[in-house]
């Protein structure tokens, strides 16, 4: 029984492992759960809105894999900036669909069961029309996105 506990503990600790990324002297990029050699300076990357998720913490990558986020925005939409800012502050990878034509608006309205409002969000299969910060945060929390990335690097 004690051995099973130790094995479970070791497996669990591996799930929290950090991913290190570095480039060697020949320009080859390396990805590892081990730190780079002392003579190599590790690259520090952060998530950017363009989808760079190489150095995103494991919990965020897994949440994004299981529950990808899509933000629907429109032109001249002050709440769209607030919605985008919420996702960026939490460093959540997301794709953005800009609704610019009537055809795009009609398609979004159908996709959201008749609720064509921007901004709107889709987290995995769950959808919400309009921007209510508390509702959006709850959806992201339920999908496993961490609220604070400090200490997850």
What DSSP letter does each residue of 87-134 carry, written as one string? Answer: HHHTT--EEEEEE-SHHHHHHHHHHTTT---SSEEEETTEEEES--HH
Residue 114 tokens read as: 């008749």
Is 35 within the bounds of a domain? no
The size of the chain, in residues, is 153
Is 53 within the bounds of a domain? no
Is 24 within the bounds of a domain? no
Residue 63 has pLDDT above 90, yes or no: yes
Is 50 within the bounds of a domain? no
Residue 27 has pLDDT above 90, yes or no: no
Is 6 within the bounds of a domain? no
Confidence of residue 23 (pLDDT cuts 50, 70, 90): confident
Q: Given this model, what pLDDT does residue 58 score?
A: 87
Query: Taking Cα atoms as reference points, which of 142, 112, 81, 113 lies closest to residue 134?
Result: 142
Q: What is the number of domains present in the chain?
A: 1
- Residue pair 75/54 in contact (Cβ under 8 Å)? The answer is no
Q: Given this model, what pLDDT does residue 48 score?
A: 42
Residue 120 CB partners (closer than 8 Å, separation 6+): 71, 72, 108, 112, 127, 128, 129, 130, 131
What pTM did the predictor assign?
0.63
Is 82 within the bounds of a domain? yes
Residue span of the structural domain in which 89 resides: 64-142
Is 90 within the bounds of a domain? yes
Confidence of residue 118 (pLDDT cuts 50, 70, 90): very high
Tokens 């690097």 identify what position? 153
**What CATH code is carried by the domain that includes residue 135?**
3.40.30.10
Average pLDDT over residues 68-72: 96
Q: How far is residue 109 from each of residues 62, 119, 143, 147, measured CA to CA in Å?
A: 29, 12, 23, 30
Is 109 within the bounds of a domain? yes
Q: Given this model, what pLDDT does residue 144 score?
A: 95
- Select the highest-mean-pLDDT range: 9-23, 27-41, 105-119: 105-119
């Amino acid at each position: 029984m004690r051995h099973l506990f130790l094995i479970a503990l070791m497996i669990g600790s591996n799930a929290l492992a950090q991913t290190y990324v570095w480039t060697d002297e020949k320009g080859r990029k390396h990805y590892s759960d081990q730190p780079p050699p002392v003579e190599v300076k590790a690259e520090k990357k952060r998530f950017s809105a363009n989808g760079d998720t190489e150095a995103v913490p494991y919990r965020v990558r897994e949440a994004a894999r299981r529950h990808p986020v899509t933000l629907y925005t429109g032109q001249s939409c002050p709440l769209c900036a607030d919605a985008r800012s919420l996702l960026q502050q939490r460093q959540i990878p997301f794709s953005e669909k800009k609704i610019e034509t009537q055809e795009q608006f009609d398609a979004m309205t159908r996709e959201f069961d008749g609720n064509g409002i921007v901004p709107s969000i889709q987290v995995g299969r769950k959808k919400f029309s309009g921007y209510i910060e508390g509702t959006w945060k709850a959806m992201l929390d339920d999908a496993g996105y961490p609220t604070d990335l400090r200490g997850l690097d």
